[in-house]
Chain A
Amino acid sequence: MLRLPKFELARPERIEDALALLAEHGERAQILAGGTDLVPNMKHELFTPDVVVSLARIPGLVGVRVERDGTLRIGAMTTLDALAHDPLVRERAPALAQAASLISGPQLRRMGTLGGNVMLDTRCQWYNQTHFWRSALGFCLKKDGTLCHVVAGGKKCVAAASNDTAPALMTLRAALVFRGQEGARTIAIDDLYKADGIYNKKTKGEILTEVRIPATPAGHRGAYGKLRDRGSIDFPLLGVAVRLDLELAGENGRGAVECADVCAVALQARPVRIQEVAECLRGTRPGTSAFAEAVEAVAEKAKKQCHPLENIPGDAEYRREMVPVYVRRTLRAAAEGAGPVEHV
């Protein structure tokens, strides 16, 4: 058995107590949500906290509800399985429901949480290995070493963001509520991630409590596309989230694109937004050749803008080839109100 390193577990029943523990122990404490990321990483001795602070007993962190103004509020400890099946999420934030439905496998989706996925550690084939394995090559830039094995002579860690919910939430303009000892603050998800594979988030010592998704208009469409070798369990080799907001039904039953967004993950240390998407698609109408051409244009732009590295296991050149394919297929799926896009 690969054993966990020793630690003390705290199961606070109030968020204030959790925050106090984090403040008291600083770097020596770590938050445990569903455990599906932290526990395997601890078995790999990537994290060896003295204190593990479980959020399981803190009330008010689970659940999906919609405010009067249409804002969707999701507790950070809501499981991925619950998200995938929740009718409010499926209707108002389909890209998020689809992304959640594709994460890992059935058991893990019942354990893993939205907050845990938003805050997922970055991944790399040189990093997500046992202590013995990593010591055999002298460790790496992200953990315990100074050399990057992906980019020869690289000084910046390029471990990949691997969380499927992140690009979906970016297209949904999600806001994240963090609780710190000083109180709560809300940041846009676009402001959470940074291009640093070692730790790709701009928060420290705070607890994500809630994800808020602004009301999506009636003509909102979203979809998620995931490339992976198997149809279950694997992390993404490429993840694409799409948003299309259509004007309320025009003559053909589908109005023109008012708003469009495409975000991707599993390329580099942060999830990325493809640039110039809205300019291509705005004003075109799904089902027309103008729309199809605009989709092609977006796919080409995405290919030019995306540069997967040999960080996660999987052919980087192939992943790059698949960027336009998955962007195209996911845009089409979103336009049709379908998805998710995967190979099974």
Chain B
Amino acid sequence: MAARDLHGKGPPWKEGFRIIGKAHPKSDGIEKATGQAIYADDIALPGMLHAKILRSPHAHARIRSIDATRALSLEGVQAVITGKDLPIPYGVIPWTPDEHALALEKVRFVGDEVAAVAAVDEDTANAALKRIQVDYEPLEAFLDPWEALRTPAPQIHAEIRGKPVEGNISKHVDLSFGDVERGFAEADVVLEDDYFFHGTTHTPIEPHCAVAQVSADGVLTLWSSTQITHYVQRALARVLELPESRIRVIQPCLGGAFGGKSDPFALEFVVSKLAFLTGRPVKCLWTREEVFYAHRGRHPMHMHYKTGARKDGRITAVDARILIDGGAYSSFGLVTAYYAGQLLTGPYDFPAYRFDSTRVFTNKPPCGPKRGHGSVQPRFAFEVQLDEIAERLGLDPIELRRRNFQGQDTSTVNGQRITSNGFLACLAEVERASRWKERRGKLPHGRGLGVAGSMYISGTNYPVYPNDMPQAGVQLKVDRSGLVTVFTGGNDIGQGSNSVCRYIVAEELGLDPLDVRVVAADTDLCPVDLGAYSSRVTFMVGNATIDACRKLRRQIVAAVVEAWGVVPERVAMGHGEVYDREDPSHRIPSREAFHLAETRFDTLGATGSYNTPKLGGDYRGGTIGASPAYSFTAHVVEATVDVETGRITVANCWIAHDCGRALNPMLVAGQIEGSAYMGIAEALLEVHDVNRFGLHAGPSLLDYRIPTSVDTPELHALIVESLDPEGPYGAKEAGEGPLHPSIPAISNAVFDAVGIRLRHLPFTPAKVLAALREASARPPAPKVARAPAKERR
């Protein structure tokens, strides 16, 4: 039974929202501000050992033998393990369990985990690693995805889950909707080009860290900086061959993730195994270098897009061919290959669409989900191509997007259900805020405005392992003191999901937010939530929380009704009190109402759940990309180009994001700003790549450049509310959508500024100079006959 039928997008009380929609502080804000918040590396347990991991120096090699005897004999070393100690493979997606915590027979990238030690301190553990001898037989390594695609041997993975792998192909998806060829035939202009998105990674400021402790009766507790406590619990059970009920996974306060902590990782299995072997708690804190090797960042994509449009700007067909560089393991790769095509079919309507995406394995750190998983790259290509179409047709780029707007309460060409859709309002907002009409195309040479749009999922239709149980569950506990505790499996990774629970409960039960506390992400204490990925937590945990609150509210109101002898409609809750609407002098503190309810109904408590409706197209892969609600975003970027140095500077970025309803506008703005910052960084500064040896080219925060405060422009967050029918009070996601348009908007702004098209990321100064040189040597492209005067802006 899904919660969506029980509540709507309005406030729970006639009096309107008291908490929701206001800039309340976060539930964990002051604790983080005073240094009291506990992150995984802040945990220290008596007798705790430190684990270090030995990594492969080869990009592709067979392991002939491992000799750890000298390591074991070092004083202070308590245990050494290798792949043989953890032979069961795993993978976050059940169909591709192609990873081992420690390499079993071969290593597949430089940095792949090979052995681990537990010692009294890090220095001893490091010294022990140097004593482990590994005999490798190097194999040919693939660093280029095209080469991996056309070279079937040596195979990086020969078989996965018993099924043989075809060459080095991780996943191939080829889907077609409508009649693409006819669409191109009907078009007045057809553009076709290559686009490239390079590799980038998450770099949360907190490196991964895990601490494991085993009780005398064999119950494992793992604290881990993870986004997916529930999936980690399942993976540990599988690999350690333990019942899940004997595994407790706790996510402490977490220092950033962005999709980089949504796989189970080697260190979690390693500390758990070592804790079992030694009988002592074991901690492993990764160095920053190791975080780069773990990666799971954005897949480089080589894309070929072909789009047809009529003179009036209406898109007739889109055809995409995409080569996805997957790195050494699958991770979420099955999903990536689908997302690369499935998530493009909005906010514009096009009647015919085809995409063919192939993910290949390469001997590099494995790619995975990074904020906007699988859709940021195609969106970049498409939004630049749309701009090129606008240019060819002589149309304003915002007008072109308007003309193709798909509308709300509709369905996409690939069978996704669209409900609320505030994209037009988003365009209007950035058009206004940037003074687009008076400035675009009219700024001095070297300065320009660019626009782009996008859409993104608010959670998906399917859990990572198939089941029909709720995707989010919440439990409420009521104390006689007036405190209500919310138990949620939801992972707060800094986005404020715990705070959202607090605000919802305070709103529904009329409490002061300080009288609502949240216990989260502890598999012993909290109902299952699938984790913080695909922008699902606010939407799903929010709905589950409202569900639980409404059940509890019914009990409280029923008890008060009996005590006061009034009809239920007269009972209201707010400001920490319960009162009679028709006789406001008749009021009692909330906690007294709780006492009435506990007296009447015995010990109070309520659970709430949420599951998505059945969604998605009726074809294989049709559910991948289906979401109960989509967010929409538009960016306008103002950029300057220094034509002597080629450097692009973003002076301003306006981001209008339709989040359905801003449960806390300050937190939504923070997500909008953070997302835009991350997109700008990917476009201009960050490069994740390996050198000719297959070694990460610069695994440090010095060489992998993320913007400092002086590198980041003014970010103007504009909130649009389309009041979604299924989101909690109408809310949709805000954590990933706002990243997408920043990158193409920069390319489009550069075009306005200096007339060059950047289709190849990152937009380095060298590329800009090369494009400028080429443009000055080339005659301008022909324009199609302009649309009639009355349609021109």
Mark A residues whose CB is within 8 Å of B.
1-3, 6, 105, 125, 129-130, 132-133, 135-137, 229-235, 313, 315, 317-318, 321-322, 325, 343-344
Contacts and interface: CB of A to CB of B under 8 A. Distances in A.
Contacts of B642: 343
B123 interface: yes
A296 B693 CA distance: 41
A6 B121 CA distance: 13
B122 interface: yes
Given A136-B695, A229-B685, A315 B764 contact: yes
Given A230-B705, A325-B644, A133 B289 contact: yes
A2 B699 contact: no
A233 B110 contact: no
A317 B708 CA distance: 26
Nearest to A105: B708
A235 B289 CA distance: 19
B57 interface: yes
B289 A130 contact: yes
Contacts of B122: 1, 3
Contact of A137 (B693, B707, B764): B693
B711 A344 contact: yes
Nearest to B56: A136
Given A132-B289, A315-B764, A231 B711 contact: yes
B698 interface: yes
Contacts of A344: 710-711
A232 B705 CA distance: 10
Contacts of B646: 318
A187 B647 CA distance: 40
When A and B form their complex, which 5 residue pairs have the shortest distance between CB atoms, in order from nearest?
A136-B57, A231-B710, A318-B766, A232-B708, A2-B287
Q: Which of A135, A229, A232, A233 counts the most chain B CB atoms within 10 A?
A: A229
Contact of B698 (A125, A132, A233): A125
A261 to B, nearest CB: 23
Contact of B769 (A125, A135, A230, A321): A321
Contacts of B695: 133, 136-137
Contact of A233 (B697, B702, B765): B702
A135 B57 contact: yes
Contacts of A235: 702
A317 B767 CA distance: 11
Nearest to A136: B57
B126 interface: yes
A318 B764 contact: yes
Interface residues of B, number: 37
B126 A3 contact: yes
B179 interface: no
B61 to A, nearest CB: 11
A315 to B, nearest CB: 5
A255 to B, nearest CB: 29
A321 B645 CA distance: 8
Contacts of A133: 289, 695-696, 699
26 contacts: A1-B285, A1-B287, A2-B289, A105-B708, A125-B697, A125-B703, A129-B699, A130-B287, A130-B289, A132-B57, A133-B289, A136-B693, A229-B685, A230-B685, A230-B707, A230-B708, A231-B711, A232-B708, A234-B705, A235-B702, A313-B697, A318-B646, A318-B764, A318-B766, A322-B645, A343-B647
A107 to B, nearest CB: 12
Given A137-B57, A234-B705, 5 more contacts: A3-B123, A130-B289, A133-B696, A136-B58, A136-B695
A234 B693 contact: no
A317 B766 contact: yes
Nearest to B696: A133
B55 interface: yes
B645 A343 contact: yes
A55 B711 CA distance: 35
Interface string B628-665: 00000000000000101111010000000000000000
Contacts of A2: 287-289
A133 B691 CA distance: 12
A137 B693 CA distance: 7
A37 to B, nearest CB: 12
Chain B's interface: helix, strand, loop or mixed, by majority?
loop
A226 to B, nearest CB: 12
A341 to B, nearest CB: 11
B549 to A, nearest CB: 43
B294 to A, nearest CB: 14
Contacts of B649: 343
Contacts of B709: 232
Q: Which of B126, B698, B703 counts the most chain A CB atoms within 10 A?
A: B703
Nearest to B695: A136
A102 to B, nearest CB: 11
A229 B642 CA distance: 14
Contacts of B700: 129
B267 to A, nearest CB: 14
Q: Which of B642, B685, B709, B711 counts the most chain A CB atoms within 10 A?
A: B711
A256 B764 CA distance: 39
A229 B681 CA distance: 11
Contact of A229 (B58, B285, B693, B705): B705
Contacts of B58: 136
A256 to B, nearest CB: 27
Contact of B711 (A137, A230, A317, A321): A230
Contacts of A6: 123
A313 B703 contact: yes
B122 to A, nearest CB: 5
B35 to A, nearest CB: 18
A317 B122 CA distance: 42
A242 B110 CA distance: 44
Nearest to B123: A3
A258 B446 CA distance: 36
A231 B708 contact: yes
A216 B288 CA distance: 46
Contacts of B711: 230-232, 344
A320 to B, nearest CB: 11
Nearest to B765: A318
Contacts of B703: 125, 313
A317 B773 CA distance: 15
Contact of B55 (A132, A233, A318, A343): A132
Interface string B575-602: 0000000000000000000000000000
A230 B685 CA distance: 8
Contacts of A322: 645
Contacts of A232: 708-711
B645 A325 contact: yes
A282 B685 CA distance: 40
Nearest to B708: A232
A129 B700 CA distance: 9
A140 to B, nearest CB: 11
Contacts of A1: 122, 285, 287
B284 to A, nearest CB: 11
Contacts of A230: 685, 705, 707-708, 710-711
B645 A234 contact: no
Nearest to A321: B769
Contacts of B707: 230
Contacts of B693: 136-137
Nearest to B130: A131
A315 B765 CA distance: 10
A87 to B, nearest CB: 24
A124 to B, nearest CB: 12
Contacts of B644: 325
A195 B770 CA distance: 32
A135 B695 CA distance: 11
B708 A233 contact: yes
Contacts of B287: 1-2, 130
Contacts of B705: 229-230, 234
A2 B122 CA distance: 9
Contacts of B55: 132
Interface in B93-129: 110, 122-123, 126
